[in-house]
Amino acid sequence: MVDISRIPIEIRWRIATRMLTFLPIAYNREFNDFLGENYATLEYPIFEEAAKDIRAIASAFQLPNHNAYGLARTMDVISSVFFGPGFQGETLEVSNDKALIRLTTCPLLNMAEEIGVTAGRIHQACTTCAKEAVECLNPEYTVNSSRSMCLGGAFCEMTIERKV
């Protein structure tokens, strides 16, 4: 009899995270040209819903969200669960109110290149998703992106900081 147990859990996890990474990029590729600026308007509520799931996962596993460093660590864990362990980077500046994250490898960027989507087209989706997630985890904080591999940079930099 054939059942899911024939596929090892590690392989299932890789397949699932690859599919989750592929879907938003494929939707962007197929619908962005057709819908133009309306595409971002349709995409935004999806990120709002995803942020709610992120908050539920963080809560269920008691991931930290009380300060910028905790939010950076939680975003690292959640991103790896959703998109696989393909993110590489580090948290550089850390205080209770601010954490600077530098990414040097991104599975979303890799997938975009693999399926022929211009990397710049996923920049807005990525920054919107990160902002929604952090603000849903703790409404006192936000994310600002200062550098992006999607826009030709050597790395991405995002700052999680307390709102003014």
Q: 68-109: per-residue pLDDT in tens?
A: 999 999 999 999 888 888 889 999 888 889 999 999 999 989
pTM of the model: 0.86
HEC string of the chain equals: CCCHHHCCHHHHHHHHHHHHHHHHHHHHHHHHHHHCCHHHHHHHHHHHHHHHHHHHHHHHCCCCCCCHHHHHHHHHHHHHHHHCCCCEEEEEEECCCEEEEEEEECHHHHHHHHHCCCCHHHHHHHHHHHHHHHHHHCCCEEEEEEECHHHCCCCEEEEEEECC
Instruction: Give pLDDT, residue 70.
Output: 95
Q: 16-30: per-residue pLDDT in tens?
A: 988 988 888 888 888
Q: 130-153: per-residue pLDDT in tens?
A: 999 999 999 999 999 999 999 999
Q: 154-164: per-residue pLDDT in tens?
A: 999 999 999 98
Q: What are the chain's domains?
A: 6-162 (3.30.1380)
